[in-house]
Amino acid sequence: MPIRSPRVLAEYLALSLIWGLSFLFMLRVVAVFGLVGAVCFRALIAAGILLLISLSTGRSLRFVVPWHRFLIVGATTVVLQLLGLCYALPLIGTAMAAILVAAIPLFAMLIGHWWGLEQITMARVVGLMLGVLGIGLLVGFPSQAITGRFLLGCASAIGGALCSAIGSNYASARLNAVAPFETTLGAFFIGGILSLPLLAVSPVRVVPTWEDWCNLLVLGALMSALAYVMYFRLVASVGATRAVSVEFIVTLVAVIIGTALLHETLTAIQCVGAVTILTGCALVLGLLPWQRGDLAKAGS
């Protein structure tokens, strides 16, 4: 099903807005619940809400594939991706973290090609090169000093993006027989269980207020449970690479939040790097005007 389908387009735009706003909520939740708590509690809340929905509606859950497949998706798209992003946010800021996350389609293309799920065209090769150049400009010319913490934050965000691309391709290839609802529930439940022991290393060190609990609930219910059901439905409908193109608008929303509300700044060269990354991703996804039909030929 193409992205221009009314249902798919509506979910695509809604997901973009929800995930764009999630950067602000993640920053607040990490500050209170800590790195591991933000990921673990978010995942368990998401899984719990989906389980309650299934019980209250009489929905029969059908996990029709081996459990280790959910383990892989939960470890990559939930634990490693969210840990990487949450660790990076306080170090490099919302705007820059969001731009680095926009590189997910580049990784998704390479992994998809490696696994035989994607075909690489010349336009996609050029897009990949532009993406790498853009990341170099973004990391090499920041408004803040280039310190070990800054580079670690960049590496963490890029690592999270890579894990997201791995999990998305794996879900597209190995969980295609599972409904998006069950995929999301299974991934978040396993992700929450996997990250739970890490609370011993990174415990919650402050007493959360009611506002903090509300932020966590919104992050778990709206920006995880609902959003990931929508996302995995997009993966099943249009393929992993097309689905992760949602990161374009996510990046735009997050950058606006970072610069307008959090007073973050990007240098002129970083802005060029951001445009370069997004242009490269657009080439990878076949979204530019002269590439009509290219995405269909490349397959999903």
111 or 295, greater pLDDT: 111
- Helix axis angle for 122-140 and 148-174, nearest 10°, is 150
Where residue 31 falls among pLDDT bands split at 50, 70, 90? very high
pLDDT of the residue at 7: 78
17 sits in which H/E element: helix 6-57
Q: What is the pLDDT of residues 191-205, one digit of tens each?
A: 999 999 999 999 998
Residue 253 lies in a domain: yes
The domain of 162 spans: 6-298
- Report the domain count for the chain: 1
Q: Over the chain, what is the mean pLDDT?
A: 87
Which range is least confidently modeled, 78-82, 184-188, 195-199, 291-295? Answer: 291-295
Within a domain: residue 126? yes
Other C-beta atoms closer than 10 Å to the C-beta of 50 total: 25
Residue 195 maps to a domain: yes
Of 4-13, 73-82, 130-139, the least confident? 4-13
Is residue 58, in this structure, part of any structural domain at all?
yes
Sign of the C-alpha dihedral computed for residues 282, 15, 160 and 150 taken in this order: positive
Global pTM value? 0.85
- Cβ atoms < 10 Å from Cβ of 65: 16
Across the range 20-33, mean pLDDT stands at 93
| Domain presence at residue 94 | yes
Q: Is residue 91 situated within a structural domain?
A: yes
Residue 191 lies in a domain: yes
pLDDT tens sequence across 236-275: 777 766 777 787 788 888 888 888 888 888 889 989 988 9
Rounded-to-integer distance, Cα 171 and Cα 240, Å? 8
Query: Does residue 1 fall inside a structural domain?
Result: no
pLDDT digits (tens, 9 = 90+) for 120-135: 788 888 988 998 898 9
Please write the tens of the pLDDT for every residue from 134-154: 899 988 888 888 899 999 999
How many C-alpha atoms does 91 have within 13 Å on its Cβ side? 19
Round to whole Å and give the CA distance between 217 and 274: 31
